A and B are shown apart, each in its own frame.
Chain A
Amino acid sequence: MNKNLPVSNNNTGSGILPEKLNRKKFFVFTGLAALGIAAASVIPFNLFRSNTPKPAASLKIKENPNAVKRKSKEANSELNNG
């Protein structure tokens, strides 16, 4: 290495590399996390849901019972069209 090349003295690896995590701690942590997820997926959170009913539609559509439905869209050939 050429000593004349400008090299920073600041970014040595010493500050960046985290301290090694204890292997045991890691497995304990991930194991508990997995258990937690499994438990959460089983617990019926629905019990906690408040059953507010949906606001009922204020408009009610009602067919008129006396209206006569037309059988087809086509012209009625029997009708005497003037």
Chain B
Amino acid sequence: MDKKYIDISENIIEENKELIPAPSASSDGSDEPKDINYWRSFRELYNDPSFRKEKSMEFHPGELDKPDLNTFSKFSRRKFLALLSASAAVAASGCSNYRDKGELIPYNKKPESVTVGNPTYYASTCTGCSSACGILIKTLDGRPVKVDGNPDHPVSKGKICAIGQASVMSLYDPERLKNPVERVNRVSPNNMDWKTADEKIIAELKSAAASGKEISVITHTVNSPSLKKLFDEFAKAYPTAKVYSYELFEDTPRNSAWEKCYGSKNYPLISWDKANIILSLESDFLGNEGNKVETSRLYTSGRDAINGKEFNRLYSVEGNASVTGMNSDYRLILKTDAIEEFVMCLLNELAGKEKISSYSSDAGIMSKLQSFNLKSFAEKYNLSEEVINHLVSDLKKNQGASYVSAGSMLPESTHIAVNMLNEVLGNSALYKKEVSNVKVMPLSTREELENLVSDLNSGKTTVVIHYDSNPVYHLPPDLGYADAVKKAKTIVSLSESDNESSNAGNYVLPVNSMFESWGDYQTRNNFFSLQQPVIAPIYNNRQKEDILMTWISGNPDSYNSDSYHKFVMDNWKANILSSAGTDSDFNRAWYAGLNDGVVMVSKKEAAAQEGENVPAPEVFNPASFVSNTSSMRSKDGFSLLLIKSGALGDGRHANNGWLQELPKPVSRIVWDNYAAISVQSAKALGVDSNDNISITTQSGKMDIPVFVQPGMADGVLAIELGYGRTVCGTVGLDAGFNANVLMTKNPALSRWFYNDVKAEKSSGKYELVSVQDQYPMDEPLYKDIQYRREIIQEGTYLQFKENPDFLHDRHTKYSEEETFKLKVGSINEQYKHTGTKWGMVIDLNKCIGCNECVAACSVENNIPVVGKEQAKKHRSMQWIRIDRYYSGTPETPKASFQPMLCQHCDFAPCENVCPVAATTHSADGINGMAYNRCVGTRYCSNNCPYKVRRFNYFNFRDHFKDGIQLEESFTLMQNPEVTVRSRGVMEKCTFCLQRIMDERQMAIQENRQVKGSNVKTACQEACNTNAISFGDQNDKESDIFKLNNSKLAYHVLEEIKVKPNVTYLAKLRNVYEIEKEEAHH
């Protein structure tokens, strides 16, 4: 027997015989074996006869009975469905006519100068901050849709910062105040009408003036001559009125140092374009210091590789990792409190040892410098001796053509030392003599603010007017303003939207935004700038100055929306344009001024205007330096830097979604602020990014998450201010942390720089969202990946001068023919683009990574705000981004910035794979997108090697913050020339196709060829440094043709041969060492 298995069942049965119950003869006569171990009910167990009977029946009684139809509803399923469909059909037919195409509603009386569909431009002034840059507002159908710089404005010269670009969103913010509000018991707001408001407030003002109680008007910088005059009139009408002005960020240390050194109150303007060597000491002049629009333009005029001018060289010595530092050629990482010592060591080196200046013979100065030694300083702080030697020799060689810039946050003593250094180096040649800053009204001093607070506390001040300012949020908490102001009897806030200060008061009055206001501004002595409204007030708001004029008159019925306009005109007729003799001459000059936005002032008039703002005499007072005492050294703990936010300013733009979503250039974090800390310090504290730390200064304590920032000095914390708003619209409410609590009114050094700050690990985590993840820089896989893949190609300036072809010499294999030969089995024929071929060149030498192009593109192309959660998932919809790559070590990194946008590849990998041909290439080189065809496959984004395609995972307008972007006012903000995309479609940069089509329209209208240089893309227009050029690559005369064929031109990811139409010009670092750069290959 061939048994494949062994049957052991019989054995088992044998063994277990006793366990199997034998069929016992049961007493009840049933013939089935009963298993007493399993029973379902007592009835079974006890052998109930009825149970046994049931067991034999298949169907129980009643189961098979036919249903009683009378119990059912009269309405059968069939009938129900028929009725449902019929009623749906009737309802559908009753709907609107499917042929209805809406209405066409023209003007009732069309102004002749308006051409429907063509934009109108108005020159005006931006009041997003106190710089008052000139802007051109573009309106379509009477609605402002875009803001760009005014080319006639001598400071901004056609450019504007991100805050100005995004300011349209503030105009159309649905959370703006719409009606005057009375806050009964300062708690519950009640709408009221203007007349009542004016009556009540005038009554309060009059009673305060009559009883000798002070009326405090608190405002930001007054840089308007007419407003100053108006305040004077206000003071005449209410003699107890006093005006206080403040800013969260001021230049007080710099200006007071200047006063001590030179006697005048105004720090001069600097000719950055004449400086060959720039030394930045914690001075972020390319980021958020001074007038960045002007400074960055002047700085990058010295970094033009194509036009042959010699490069300037930027040295940066800083504790924070700022944009300026990351753009510098040489960077020394030094804890901020040691910077003053560094300056003294430099002075000793230059004036003492090298004896380069006449001051070297001054005994007082020399004795002061004796104790400092640059070499030992460098050893002590671990600074590269080579770099220091280069710095010293460069400064020596470029006397009179260099500039040392000290950061605004550094204390006065450091500024005095730096002034001395600039003197020694002869850099006073760079101080502009004929053009200078002008202060229409100086800011209030600390004593004045303290007096204000004490008057409030004592009851001497009973009326407070917040004139479009937010002192409860901005002023240092230990000044006690927030508590003191509550003691005032009447608090009136004139504001565009609710803020912390208006929330404390009785009356909140909505005021006009900068698009709806008249005004004039003077920031420099050689011109005046005018502001005109392009749109009538959207809500029930009024211009601040008009409100003031009603109060001055004392009669609430006297309000006239044109009163301030007349006031400014009268002021100009009397004072500024007084040289115009007749009325018609004045009118001509006035309207010309409004047309240009700027009125230049002749030298004679400038001198007359200045008064106490005399230009700096060239005499430096060495005694100021000798008597300078420094207390800058920290004993222990951290040095804390409080920095101005590039996007939010001092916090007033917190409700602007576009600005909140603008990534910070170096850390690429959106929507929050954080405490930046160095790698080693983080390890010492035992924290990592997203961990909370608690910071204690002499005035306050706060918890804030930490972000480990490569390139920071150990022992330094840097926090951006302007976040953590508690009363603001829904957009800005949960963004960041309020670091104003760390400021003190009486700082030892300066309000934005604190020593001996305690920081320790705190509990909890907070997720910071960075749109560019920190990759592990030291890992071999990631190290220098941007160089290995030749995304960033860099060289040194000396290398370029020696061998201009150095970049292309590296890649001889990528010639045109080889490209084709190597491309095995190309599925694309090489299409010859004759005619117009649009292309873009981005000069990486000029790109400083400021992210302004991102803001401009968002405004021009109706980019939705996605919010923090979606940004975390890398779903932010910005069509252009500035990638920031690190190289080197986390302690001493180098950063490279690169704007990345759709490259409009001629062999686009995205176009081949779209199943519905929604993305196609046009004969003029544009990769276009037909949104209505897109079905959302996302294959194109998958294929894109540059990852520039953005997919609408949601209708973000609906998704973000409960659909705030769908509010009526935001629909007015959108550019009608660009499709508004909805959920499920892919979008990307279109090279501003709408602007190209405008140029085509003009060309056909004027019967000429399309001229590439007439088209300016939004990003190109916005870039402060003119890093982006756009135009017709086939036009041999154009700039872009020359740039495309320049020696520094390269394509990103050239080796995959997609033939992009965006060319980059390699960044040249102006360093002495050539060998170091070669090491990358």
Contact = CB atoms under 8 A, between A and B. Distances in A.
A46 B538 contact: no
Nearest to B153: A81
A82 interface: yes
A79 B157 CA distance: 12
Contacts of A40: 93
Interface stretch (B387-395, B590-598, B792-800, B922-930): B590-598
A74 interface: yes
Most interface-central of A48, A58, A64, A79 (chain B CB within 10 A): A64
B600 A61 contact: no
A66 B533 CA distance: 8
B806 to A, nearest CB: 37
Interface string B528-550: 00001111101100000000000
Given A70-B122, A82-B435, A64 B536 contact: yes
A76 to B, nearest CB: 5
Interface string B569-607: 000000000000000000000010011111010000000
Interface in A35-82: 40, 45-46, 48-49, 57-59, 61-64, 66-76, 79-82
A81 B516 CA distance: 27
B565 interface: yes
Given A40-B93, A76-B152, A81-B154, A67 B533 contact: yes
Contacts of A80: 600
A73 B113 contact: no
A58 B538 CA distance: 10
A64 B121 contact: no
A29 to B, nearest CB: 15
A68 B562 CA distance: 15
A33 B245 CA distance: 81
Give chain A's interface secondary structure class. loop
B157 to A, nearest CB: 8
B142 A49 contact: no
A75 B594 contact: no
Contacts of B310: none
B101 to A, nearest CB: 14
B969 interface: yes
Given A59-B972, A61-B972, A73 B533 contact: no
Most interface-central of A49, A69, A75 (chain B CB within 10 A): A69
Given A48-B94, A49-B94, A61-B972, A69 B533 contact: no
A63 to B, nearest CB: 4
Nearest to A70: B121
Contacts of B120: 69-70
Contacts of A72: 121
Contact of B151 (A46, A49, A62, A75): A75
Given A48-B94, A61-B141, A67 B122 contact: yes
B136 interface: yes
A61 B142 contact: yes
Given A46-B97, A79-B598, A80-B600, A64 B968 contact: no
B527 A73 contact: no
A64 B113 contact: no
Contacts of A81: 152, 154, 600
Contacts of A67: 122, 532-534, 594
Given A59-B972, A61-B143, A64-B532, A69 B94 contact: no
Contacts of A71: 595
B123 interface: yes
B158 interface: yes
B534 A76 contact: no
B526 interface: yes
A44 to B, nearest CB: 10
Interface string B136-159: 100101110000000110100010
A58 B968 contact: yes
Contacts, number: 92
Contacts of B536: 61-64
Nearest to A62: B536
Contacts of B968: 57-59
A41 to B, nearest CB: 10
A63 B591 contact: no
A57 B535 CA distance: 17
Interface string B109-129: 001010000001111000000
Given A61-B535, A63-B535, A82-B526, A75 B154 contact: no
Nearest to A73: B121
Nearest to B536: A62
A62 B968 CA distance: 16
Given A59-B972, A62-B142, A67-B532, A79 B94 contact: no
A70 B534 CA distance: 11
B96 interface: yes
Nearest to A58: B968
Given A59-B968, A79-B600, A70 B595 contact: yes
Nearest to A64: B533
A68 B591 contact: yes
A49 B632 CA distance: 80
A70 B565 CA distance: 19
Nearest to B597: A70
Contact of A70 (B123, B434, B539): B123
A37 to B, nearest CB: 11
Contact of B122 (A49, A59, A69, A82): A69
A81 B12 CA distance: 111
A64 B152 contact: no
B561 to A, nearest CB: 10
Contacts of B597: 70
A64 B539 CA distance: 14
Nearest to B590: A68
A66 B532 contact: yes
Most interface-central of B136, B595, B969 (chain A CB within 10 A): B595
Given A49-B96, A62-B142, A68 B534 contact: no
Contacts of B139: 63
A82 B605 CA distance: 14
A56 to B, nearest CB: 11
A72 B113 CA distance: 13
A66 B591 CA distance: 10
A63 B399 CA distance: 55
B685 to A, nearest CB: 51
A75 B7 CA distance: 104
B516 to A, nearest CB: 8
B158 A75 contact: yes
Contact of A45 (B94, B111, B532, B972): B94
Interface in B449-493: none
Contacts of A70: 120-123, 136, 595-597
Interface in A3-52: 40, 45-46, 48-49
Most interface-central of A57, A66, A68 (chain B CB within 10 A): A68
Contact of A68 (B142, B516, B539, B595): B595
Contacts of B969: 59
Contact of B142 (A57, A63, A73): A63
Contacts of A63: 111, 139, 142, 534-536
28 contacts: A45-B93, A48-B94, A58-B968, A59-B538, A59-B969, A62-B536, A63-B142, A64-B533, A67-B532, A67-B594, A68-B123, A68-B532, A68-B591, A68-B594, A69-B120, A70-B121, A70-B122, A70-B123, A70-B595, A70-B596, A72-B121, A73-B121, A75-B152, A80-B600, A81-B152, A81-B600, A82-B434, A82-B600
Shortest Cβ-Cβ A-B pairs, 9 listed: A75-B151, A68-B594, A62-B536, A82-B526, A70-B121, A64-B533, A63-B142, A45-B93, A67-B532
Interface of B: 93-97, 111, 113, 120-123, 136, 139, 141-143, 151-152, 154, 158, 434-435, 516, 526-527, 532-536, 538-539, 562, 565, 591, 594-598, 600, 968-969, 972
Given A59-B968, A66-B533, 11 more contacts: A49-B94, A61-B141, A61-B538, A67-B122, A72-B121, A75-B152, A76-B596, A80-B600, A81-B152, A82-B154, A82-B526
